[in-house]
Structures are given as structure tokens and as C-alpha cells.
Amino acid sequence: MKRIGVFTSGGDAPGMNACLRAIVKACRKAEIECIGIFEGYNGLVEGLMSPLDVENTRGIEKRGGTILKTARSAEFLTAEGRARAFENLKQYELDGLIAIGGDGTFKGAVQWMEDYPVPVIGIPGTIDNDLHGTEYTLGFDTAVNNAMNAIDKIMDTAEAHNRLFLVEVMGRDSGHIALNAAVASGAEAVFLPEKKGELKEFFHLLNQRSKEPISHALLAIVAEGNDEGSAYKVASRVRALFPEFDTRVTVLGHVQRGGSPTQRDRVIGARWGVMAVEALVKGQSGFYTGFTGGKYQLVSMEKAAKNAYKMDKGLMHAMDILSE
């Protein structure tokens, strides 16, 4: 193997740059040229490629986002688009690929490997932590810490005024950020895509709190993809039934994605970057780097693409106890 291509796809995730730096270093150790592919699958289709080396990746481990950029590619979803991508791969003489991204990235890689003899190793990079076969995905730790730090600041003013705050966090299909942020921030309630009936439970809680002689600040975390709707919709229903609460809403939005990655995201990104290069050198393909049971290991990319992730039932149980 003489030349490896690497790209970041899907939503950006803190730790991607630390992972890229490790890939470049591992390639140098193996005497392999590393080619950066810009804008994800779109870069493969359009041939947006340039060499990566120690100099142009120096110091990037502390930066959020991804220096390779990321973009959606409708063309790669077509047979014609994948054919163009394969022609570019041959033109640049790439012997293998490392795909850093989430569920959609891996599904694209599985489809491409079915069409063409392309060795691919994946690295799970998504703040949602929603991939089957791994307990952790790159960027999740930073996103949760970003959310927690913002919520702590919000609760300073909530406690000063005895307000009820509904804080909406990212999680269109996954409630991992919401659940972990809720436990870490001392929330009384959390609204998750994976659970139903939270609004009824929340109204029961508010009814109890309204009867208490001393008012306190209250906090509920709302994952954007929960069944009850946005934090604003939940707040509207709360105000209609419980006008005695001073109800406010904050939507954290993309602030959760940005900023310098945490130590955990930098270290795991580095470990996975080295693992991915070494897997390709050994002739392995169709796997992604995972972490489960306290061990770093390779996981079938096809299984990840075809199976749903699982929520931490133990943490959900703990949240039920903590919210009473």
C-alpha cells in the first residue's frame, strides 16, 4: 500500500482533526503517502484532493471542526456518481480509504465497496453517539461538555429568579446528548426520541412542585427529535397549564458542535487514526474502529449500517431516580 485517502463526512465532530493528524503520522511511519479528500463524498466525486503531511497538519489536534471540510453529496448516492468517484480514486492511485463520519457515511462506504474493490476502514465521527457496535463516537464527549457548561450558566440565572428552563439540545434521532447532559446538569426531566410519555410525567412533576411552599429553579432538557416537539412547543403547553411558573426556553443549537475537543476526544481520535491505518496496511477492509467493553476493536461496518444503536438503560434508570 503506497497511498491512502482520508475524508470527513456528515456532520463535523470535535476530535476529527486530532484523528487526521494521527492518520498522517501513522502513514509516515508506514512510509505511505496520505491524501486528504475535501468535502466528504463530494470530494471523491469531484476529485478535490491534496496531500496531507506533518507540516500542514501540525497543531490541528486542538481545533474543532475539520480541516478537510464536509458536505452532502446527492451525486454519490447514484451509480454514476460512485463511478466518477472510483475513476478519481484510480487517477490519484489511492490504494485504500479511511472514512470518518457517522451512520450515513458508513452506509455510503458499504454501498461503494459492493460496487467496486475499494478497501475502506471507517472511524465513527458523530456527536450523536448513535452507531451500533461502539459505546462511543468521536465528538460526543465534547458536545456533552459544551451542553453541560452552557446549561450550568443558564441555571445561575434560573436559580436567581426561580425560573423553569427548558433547554433544547441536539439529537434529531438520538437522545444520548440530552440524557447525559440531563444527568450531569441535575435536570428534573428529559425528553428523548427513544422514550414516549415524558410530557405526562413532566406535568405530574410540575403539579407536585407547584404545591411546595418554597419555589426552586427547575430544569428540563429537550432533545430536538423527541415526540413532544420542540422546547418552544413544550413551553407553550406548560405555560397554558402552569402559568405560575416563570417558563423560559434556550436552544443551544450548533454551539454544541464547536470549540476545542476534550482530552477524551483527542486521545480516542488519535488511537482510532493509528488503528485505521494499521488495519489497511494489514489488508483489512469493511470495518470501523470502535470502543466497547473497555477495549478498542474493529467492528463490521455492514452491521453498523444495518443495526440500530442502543441507549444506556442503566443511565436512563438513574435519570428516573434522579428526577423524582
Clarify whether 173 is annotated catalytic.
no
Q: What is the pTM of this model?
A: 0.95
- The answer on 153 and 121 residing in a single domain is no
Statement to judge: residues 131 and 147 lie in one domain? no
- Say yes or no: 81 and 18 in one domain: yes
Segments forming the whole domain that contains residue 219: 143-257
Same domain, 129 and 109: yes
pLDDT in tens, 261-303: 999 999 999 999 999 999 999 999 999 999 999 999 999 998 8
For residues 240 and 265, state if they share a domain. no
- Asked if residue 180 is part of any domain, the answer here is yes
- Reduced to 3 states (helix: H, G, I; strand: E, B; else coil), residue 122 is strand
Domain tally for the chain? 2
pLDDT at 257 over 90: yes
Q: How far is CA 299 from the centre of its chain?
A: 17
Contact indicator for 128, 137 with CB cutoff of 8 Å? yes
Contact between residue 161 and residue 246 where contact means Cβ atoms under 8 Å apart: yes
Alpha helices in 52-135 (DSSP H): 79-91, 103-115
Whether 286 maps to a domain, the answer reads yes
Looking at the DSSP bridge assignments, the partners of residue 100 are: 8, 123
- Rounded Cα–Cα distance for residues 19 and 15 (Å): 6
| Of 86, 65, 88, residue with least CA distance to 12 | 65
**Alpha-helical segments (H) within 186-300:** 198-210, 231-241, 263-281
40 and 76 share one domain = yes
Q: What is the mean pLDDT of the chain?
A: 95
Please determine, for residue 324, whether its predicted confidence score (pLDDT) is greater than 80: no
Is 317 part of a structural domain of the chain? no
The CA distance from 51 to 322, in Å, is 51
118 & 8 share domain: yes
pLDDT bucket at 213, cuts 50 / 70 / 90: confident
What is residue 107's predicted lDDT score, i.e. its pLDDT?
93
321: in domain = no
pLDDT, residue 214, reads 81
Q: State the pLDDT at residue 242.
A: 97
* Same domain? 10 vs 129: yes
Query: Does residue 127 lie in a domain region?
Result: yes
Count Cβ atoms within 10 A of the Cβ of residue 10 and give its class: 0-12 exposed, 13-18 middle, 19 or more buried.
buried
Query: Do both 112 and 124 map to the same domain?
Result: yes
CATH number at residue 131: 3.40.50.450
CA 244, distance to chain mean position in Å, is: 38
Q: Do residues 281 and 248 both lie within one domain?
A: no
- Residue-wise pLDDT tens digits, 145-168: 999 999 999 999 999 999 999 999
Q: Are residues 299 and 159 in the same domain?
A: no
The answer to whether residue 148 sits within a structural domain is: yes
Which is the catalytic residue, given 12, 103, 128, 265?
A: 128
Residue 302 has a pLDDT of 87
Q: What is the CATH number of the domain that holds 236?
A: 3.40.50.460
Cα distance between residue 163 and residue 296, in whole Å: 44
Residue 307 has pLDDT above 90, yes or no: no
- Alpha-carbon distance of 132 to 212, in angstroms, equals 43
Q: Which residue has the cell 444520548?
A: 176
Whether residue 324 is contained in a domain is answered as: no
Confirm whether 316 is domain-assigned. no
Quick one: pLDDT at residue 157?
Answer: 95
Is residue 74 pLDDT above 80, yes or no?
yes
Look up residue 143 and give its amino acid.
A
**pLDDT, greater one: 197 or 83:** 83
Given a cut of 90, is residue 304 above it in pLDDT? no
